[in-house]
Chains A and B, each alone.
Chain A
Amino acid sequence: MEKGEDEVNQGAILSPRREDFFLEGERELTMTVFGSQRNFSTVLNSFCCILAPRLPGSNSQGCRRFIQLRTVTENFLICLKTAFFFFSLFTLYSLFLTNASADNAPERIISLAPSTTEILFALGLGEKIVGVTSFCDYPVEAREKAKIGGMSNPSLEAVLSLQPDIVVMTTDGNPKEFEARLRSLNIRTYVFTARRIRELPVAIRDMGRVLGAEEPSRMLSAEIEKAISRLGNNRPSDSRKKKVLFIVWPEPLIVAGPGTAIDDALDLLGVENIAGNAKTAYPKYSIEEVLYQSPDVIFIGKGMQANMREVSRGLLHKLGLVPAVKNGSVFFVSDSLYRLGPRIIKGIEELETCLK
């Protein structure tokens, strides 16, 4: 928990600092360019003036040729000076622009994960999102945004071409190297580090602060906190916890294990996830073990998907002896809990209704 907050803060502090440094560097560079421009033209001018009459072969013909030559040089110099002038104007202008946007909230946001996309939309930042991953399908508006590739393999070029003010990433799914790459290209990043439900409110508030949506983020995180504390108070006190299994995919049997939002949700609801002792987040689970553990309730995720009931039939047939199947406590639920985002509350409430 503490570690997570630290990382969040670090990310928030680091980015403006780096930007300051960048601005300073650019200013310095412009100064140098101005200085060198003056020196360069002076030197070249004096060079022409001093050396002109002393060049070898200074008869009349040569003189004429040289005069012509000097005119060309001068023209060239004038062009060069104008170019430098406009270049420096442009640099100064862009400098002011970046300065202005660094003070305000970012206007062009790219989200590199479906969960952060959902949070951004919930914070009312949907209009400012210019790019999302190809997996960002919720809310519906997200599907119309420009795609920058997958979560684990976003396209650097696509990100750059969208000229983002900030790129929002997660530690859960985005490659660390990509973040470093963006930083090295002077693109501001914000890393969303929450992985568990309890870390979500703090992380959302922090993200809102950085992205200039403090008020909505406070409201959203308060809502999540309220849901968490309500569940904490209503927790069933009886000694025998219900045993539950959340199936992500029936064939091969993949279930929600420890460290997932689903596991957290089950814990908040005061039931026991029988796959909580597995070694990975989404283990391929042994069917025999399900029979031995005999869960009282089975949830099957993405149950609204057309073929999920069909695909699970074989598995449920094999699990005929398990109390959940015998008592008809097999529930097909939505995929609200698959992403650590604003839909978590809805997902928990959905499970709660089923468990009652």
Chain B
Amino acid sequence: MPKIKIALLIALLFSVCILALFLGPRGINPLDLSDIDRTIVFSIRLPRVLISLLMGMALGASGAVLQGILRNPLADPYILGISSGASLFAAFGIIMGFSFIGTFTIPALAFTGAILTGVIVGIIGRKKGGIWPERLLLAGVGLSFLFSALLMLMLSLSSDEGLRRSVLWIFGDLSLSEWSRIPYGSVFILAGLLLAMTRAKALNALILGDELAHSLGFSPHTERLVLFVSVGLMTAASVSLGGMIGFIGLLVPHIIRFFMGADSKVLIPAAALGGGVLLCVADLISRSVLPPMELPAGIVTAIIGSPYFLYLLRRKNVLSI
């Protein structure tokens, strides 16, 4: 049964991709491509669709993993401060006008910020030879407050132009998608996803509690560390590809749980697919509703996703994760 559902999700993902390629501010007839149409489809829309899929997958999957290892339904990939660190570094780069490696500067800075924050949170969360969920969570929250405050400070001191571009970046901006970003993004995200999927059994055990996990033959601290690294990789890569996208990491895993249950072996790939579908649709909407302008995709995901989530919450009899 889960296999059929996953197959359905994959089919949905493909159809959404096709739609996103040929719909938009102006529809394109795939059978009759002019030169401009071809440029739009292959060098503008295709990389954008792929990046939205990668980001959505990373966020959905890392949300599912994180809610498991922290045993907290409110956890999302941004709660660990990874996104605040990335935003801080990216905004710093934007405001100071850095461009030492061309268009890669800002993504590289964001990735550095994200990884650095992840390492700091990991170090603070570590005590007595292991990573403790509560410590991890609190360290992440504390650090993310600090980074947000620094970010606000920087934004309030910056010029209007730098401010606008930083805010656009922080809201999630997929218009910068280029083919050149896909290789490194996909390497980190797919590596993190594979790592998480191979440790899905351990995650199931961790959700039951450390003692049970131990008696089932898993070392809770090692497993948590491995899963934490996979989350860090996916989130850092996703934030550096296109900024912060809200909603997906927190609520897509819950939506998937409503339909497919909480078995991590199914949940992780399904949440990844669901996140990809949602972000792809949201991006399609964000660039189509107000042409010739574009809206930040992060806002659209929350606007279309949250009501659906609340509706599901009302309909389904779910009391806990």
Which A residues have a C-beta under 8 Å from some C-beta of B?
Answer: 135, 150-153, 173, 248-249, 251-254, 275, 277-280, 282-289, 291-294, 305, 307, 310-311, 313-314, 318, 320-321
| Residues of chain B contacted by A152 (CB below 8 angstroms) | 160
Closest to B156 in A: A153
Per-position 1/0 for B255-285, Cβ under 8 A of A: 0000000000000000000000000000000
Known: A288-B44, A291-B40, A307-B97. 10 other contacts (CB 8 A): A252-B169, A282-B164, A285-B293, A286-B291, A287-B175, A291-B36, A291-B39, A311-B103, A321-B35, A321-B39
Closest to B24 in A: A288
| Residues of chain A contacted by B290 (CB below 8 angstroms) | 279
Query: Given that A288-B25, A291-B36, A320-B39 are known contacts, is A311 also in contact with B99, CB under 8 Å in the complex?
Result: yes
How far is it, in angstroms, between the C-alpha of A220 and the C-alpha of B87 when the chains are bound?
A: 45
Contact (Cβ within 8 A) A286 B103: no
Shortest CB–CB separation between residue A332 and chain B, in angstroms?
15
B307 beta carbon closer than 8 Å to chain A? no
| Residues of chain B contacted by A320 (CB below 8 angstroms) | 39
Contact (Cβ within 8 A) A249 B292: no
Shortest CB–CB separation between residue B104 and chain A, in angstroms?
10
Most chain B CB within 10 A, of A285, A289, A320, is at: A289
Chain A at the B interface: SS class: loop
Query: Given that A252-B165, A252-B173, A278-B293 are known contacts, is A314 also in contact with B24, CB under 8 Å in the complex?
Result: no
| Chain A to chain B contacts (Cβ below 8 Å), 5 pairs | A173-B160, A249-B165, A287-B175, A291-B39, A307-B99
Query: Given that A284-B168, A318-B44, A321-B36 are known contacts, is A289 also in contact with B292, CB under 8 Å in the complex?
Result: yes
Per-position 1/0 for B23-55, Cβ under 8 A of A: 011100000000110011001110000000000
Contact (Cβ within 8 A) B292 A275: yes
| Residues of chain A contacted by B43 (CB below 8 angstroms) | 318
Closest to A285 in B: B292
Shortest CB–CB separation between residue B276 and chain A, in angstroms?
22
Contact (Cβ within 8 A) A151 B160: yes
How far is it, in angstroms, between the C-alpha of A289 and the C-alpha of B25 when the chains are bound?
A: 8
Contact (Cβ within 8 A) A252 B176: yes
Q: How many chain-B residues does the 8 Å CB contact rule pick out?
A: 32
Shortest CB–CB separation between residue A132 and chain B, in angstroms?
14
| Residues of chain B contacted by A252 (CB below 8 angstroms) | 165, 168-169, 173, 175-176
Contact (Cβ within 8 A) A283 B39: no
| Residues of chain B contacted by A287 (CB below 8 angstroms) | 44, 175
Rank and list the top 8 A-B pairs by shortest CB-CB distance, nearest first.
A289-B292, A307-B99, A283-B293, A314-B103, A286-B292, A288-B40, A252-B175, A291-B36
Query: Given that A135-B159, A151-B160, A310-B102 are known contacts, is A284 also in contact with B293, CB under 8 Å in the complex?
Result: yes
| Residues of chain B contacted by A249 (CB below 8 angstroms) | 161, 165
Shortest CB–CB separation between residue B229 and chain A, in angstroms?
31
Closest to B287 in A: A286
Shortest CB–CB separation between residue B45 and chain A, in angstroms?
8
| Residues of chain A contacted by B39 (CB below 8 angstroms) | 291, 318, 320-321
How far is it, in angstroms, between the C-alpha of A277 and the C-alpha of B294 when the chains are bound?
A: 14
Shortest CB–CB separation between residue B280 and chain A, in angstroms?
16
| Residues of chain A contacted by B45 (CB below 8 angstroms) | 288
| Residues of chain B contacted by A305 (CB below 8 angstroms) | 97
How far is it, in angstroms, between the C-alpha of A248 and the C-alpha of B36 when the chains are bound?
A: 24
How far is it, in angstroms, between the C-alpha of A252 and the C-alpha of B296 when the chains are bound?
A: 11
Contact (Cβ within 8 A) A289 B36: no
| Residues of chain A contacted by B164 (CB below 8 angstroms) | 254, 282
Closest to B102 in A: A310
Closest to B162 in A: A249
Shortest CB–CB separation between residue B163 and chain A, in angstroms?
9
| Residues of chain B contacted by A253 (CB below 8 angstroms) | 175
| Residues of chain A contacted by B97 (CB below 8 angstroms) | 305, 307
Contact (Cβ within 8 A) A284 B294: yes
Query: Given that A252-B176, A289-B25 are known contacts, is A278 also in contact with B292, CB under 8 Å in the complex?
Result: yes
Closest to B100 in A: A307
